[in-house]
Amino acid sequence: MTATPDLSPIPDLDEDLINGLDRFIADRDGAPAGHLSRNDAINAILREWLTDQNYIHRPPADPEDLEEPG
């Protein structure tokens, strides 16, 4: 079974960026989050880059994840 390409509208990107975006999606297909749309992938890539460059802050951790066992 061949996956149907995601043809959702995206910004006017260069073809090499679109190809890279589609490879990014293919690498994560079936991951716990499920199938990413191109828009979801752009958001994930941009959020990671902006966070790494300190333009935005990481979302706070879930308080349940911070609780110590016991």
Question: Which amino acid does the sequence have at 35?
Answer: H
Q: What is the pTM of this model?
A: 0.63
Per-residue pLDDT tens, the chain, 70 aa: give them. 455 666 666 668 899 999 999 999 988 876 666 688 888 899 999 999 999 999 999 877 766 655 665 5
Q: For residue 43, give both structure tokens.
A: 């958001």
* CB-count exposure of residue 36 (10 Å: 0-12, 13-18, 19+): buried
